Chain A
Amino acid sequence: MGTRAANRKQHLGGLANFHGSTFEHLFAVWRVVRAVTAACDGLELELSLQLPNCRVDDWVEDGPRRRDHFQLRRRRKTNWSTVAKAFEWQLAQRVASKSVGVILVVQSAVEARRLAHSPGRVRGARVDWFPSATRPRELLGEPRIRADLVASCIKELPTRSDIEAIWAAIDFAWWNARQPGAFVDVQRVIAALQDQNLPLRFPWQPTAEWEQAEKLLRRVRGFSFSVRDGHFLYRDGAGTSGRLSCRTTSFRKFVRLVLKQRPSDLNATRSILERA
């Protein structure tokens, strides 16, 4: 299977599968808006964009207090265009009421002006443009542009990583979705993201403890594992497989136990996984 086909298959519904690309597109946008909103408000993520005839499913990660999980799932016999309309409406409401920064990145000042006056664009969105020869990420280094972006578009972000994550998404789309005369809005930015299972965050950074534990686990015969999208995926060769989000307390506990007990066989490793 080619890479493109493999990616398409992988994207049919994220971790739980079952869905189509339209769903993924909507869900990805929904997730971005939530993340931006949460960042702007400094609030916990909330299920405020629940759409009619969709249910929320799938885990993303957990925090110290509670688990956050969200995936829209279409109910039977729901027309996607109905969901799309509801989504657009909610998005517009969200943008209008919360002043969420929706950045429309275009390739020229002419395009920026055209879009700024376009009756069809989302209310509250800000249009920006960059010289096509410059990657947006490079512009982040320019204090004026960065200050302008933060001040006018993404207010009071609590962390640099939030800005970076949004920026990285735009940056990515800039190179993958640009065409002569085209523009990149948030939807297109996210539609262009290769891995839509990723929460809008930087990839999980392996810790020194994990790196030590990883070496110990590599020695366990029959136990195979990998870390993908911030998830520890394991398989014991005897039918058992599972996953742990690397951002969870369970995973941190697992790592601590591996370092403490230094498992040498499958049974010892299983026992640690059970207790994590």
Chain B
Amino acid sequence: MTRTYSQHSTPQIRELLGRLVDHSSVSSYRNAMRELGGHLASVVETMLPARKPFAVVTTPEDADYLTHGMLQVLPRERSRLVCYWTERQRLEGHADVATVIQSFVDPAMPSALEAVVIVKSVIATGCIVRTHLEQFLTEAKPKRIVIAAPVMRRGADRTLRAEFEKNISDRFEFVSFATDDHYEAGILKPGVGGQVESLLGLKGKPERFAPALIAEWRSAGERVEA
């Protein structure tokens, strides 16, 4: 198992990544994810256009932790939240399949966007990121596409680029703190310590569960509508 740290990782970030792997409790895991989200945001923010809105695309699992941490650092008035609920299946001998079954798109999302940030706790096969991006590109055509995850599998960026036409993949910018190369039985090792869903204490949640972050943004939108 070889881990390579990126230029963005500080000793504090490495300690947080270590905390994910040595998780002692669900709450400490959640906190570490939130903090990592904040650190990711600090890097991502420098890549975003000034004074223009940008979208942050998340999974429901990451919404209350990694994404929540990011959104505490990113300017709220310019952030537009998008969440995609997906069904995922592994097919023997075929690439993983994920399909969007529900989505939340910030009602304040403009029709033209400069940038989108696809956030994910870990990118191993890139299946979810690919699906999220494909779905998002049907709604907007951002000039910059930032794909941010604390940990990525080595080569995942190349795999993802190969899934898209060149005029799209040329816009990809990857941000991560560490890359791992040991992928076994659907888990990247050491990665983020295992299956994120279980480690965040979300195992058994219904497929379309609404994270608190989505409920919060949804009600904010409803207040504006009213």
Give A contacts to B, CB under 8 Å.
15-18, 47, 50, 55-59, 67, 69, 75-76, 236-244, 250, 270, 273-276
Residue in B89, B138, B221 whose CB lies within 8 Å of A238: B221
| Closest Cβ–Cβ distance, residue A34 to chain B (whole Å) | 15
Give the docked Cα–Cα distance between A215 and B163 (Å): 44
| Closest Cβ–Cβ distance, residue A105 to chain B (whole Å) | 34
Would A47 and B91 count as touching, CB distance under 8 A?
A: yes
Give the docked Cα–Cα distance between A233 and B72 (Å): 33
Interface centre among B102, B103, B138, B225 (most CB of A within 10 A): B102
Would B99 and A242 count as touching, CB distance under 8 A?
A: no
Give B contacts to A, CB under 8 Å.
85, 87, 89, 91, 94-95, 97, 99, 101-107, 134-135, 138, 162-165, 206-210, 214, 217-219, 221-222, 225
Would B94 and A239 count as touching, CB distance under 8 A?
A: no
Would A238 and B97 count as touching, CB distance under 8 A?
A: no
Would A67 and B101 count as touching, CB distance under 8 A?
A: no
| Closest Cβ–Cβ distance, residue A39 to chain B (whole Å) | 22
| Closest Cβ–Cβ distance, residue B93 to chain A (whole Å) | 8
| Closest Cβ–Cβ distance, residue B125 to chain A (whole Å) | 12
Would B163 and A242 count as touching, CB distance under 8 A?
A: no
Additional A-B contacts beyond A76-B164, A240-B103, A274-B210 (13; CB < 8 A): A16-B134, A16-B135, A56-B94, A59-B87, A59-B99, A69-B89, A69-B97, A76-B163, A238-B225, A239-B104, A240-B102, A273-B208, A276-B206
Given contacts A16-B134, A50-B94, A76-B162, contact A69 B107 (CB under 8 A): no
Q: Could you pull out 8 A-B pairs where Cβ atoms are within 8 angstroms?
A: A55-B95, A59-B99, A236-B218, A239-B218, A242-B101, A242-B102, A274-B206, A276-B208
Would B99 and A69 count as touching, CB distance under 8 A?
A: yes
Which residues of B lie under 8 Å from residue A250 when comparing CB positions? 207
Residue in A18, A56, A237, A270 whose CB lies within 8 Å of B210: A270
The residue of chain B having its C-beta at the shortest distance from the C-beta of A70 within the complex is: B97
Would A242 and B208 count as touching, CB distance under 8 A?
A: yes
Would B222 and A241 count as touching, CB distance under 8 A?
A: no
Would A18 and B95 count as touching, CB distance under 8 A?
A: no
Give the docked Cα–Cα distance between A270 and B218 (Å): 12
Would B95 and A243 count as touching, CB distance under 8 A?
A: no
The residue of chain A having its C-beta at the shortest distance from the C-beta of B210 within the complex is: A274
Would B208 and A16 count as touching, CB distance under 8 A?
A: no
| Closest Cβ–Cβ distance, residue B210 to chain A (whole Å) | 6
Would A274 and B209 count as touching, CB distance under 8 A?
A: yes
Would B221 and A239 count as touching, CB distance under 8 A?
A: yes
Given contacts A76-B163, A274-B209, contact A243 B94 (CB under 8 A): no
Would A67 and B218 count as touching, CB distance under 8 A?
A: no
Would B99 and A240 count as touching, CB distance under 8 A?
A: no
Would B162 and A243 count as touching, CB distance under 8 A?
A: no
| Closest Cβ–Cβ distance, residue A127 to chain B (whole Å) | 36
Which residues of B lie under 8 Å from residue A275 when comparing CB positions? 206
Which residues of B lie under 8 Å from residue A56 when comparing CB positions? 91, 94-95, 97
Would A240 and B91 count as touching, CB distance under 8 A?
A: no
Which residues of A lie under 8 Å from residue B138 when comparing CB positions? 17
| Closest Cβ–Cβ distance, residue A234 to chain B (whole Å) | 9
Residue in A57, A75, A274 whose CB lies within 8 Å of B208: A274
The residue of chain B having its C-beta at the shortest distance from the C-beta of A222 within the complex is: B222
| Closest Cβ–Cβ distance, residue B4 to chain A (whole Å) | 27
Residue in A50, A69, A240 whose CB lies within 8 Å of B218: A240
Given contacts A50-B94, A56-B97, contact A239 B107 (CB under 8 A): yes
Which residues of A lie under 8 Å from residue B165 when comparing CB positions? 76
Would A47 and B94 count as touching, CB distance under 8 A?
A: yes
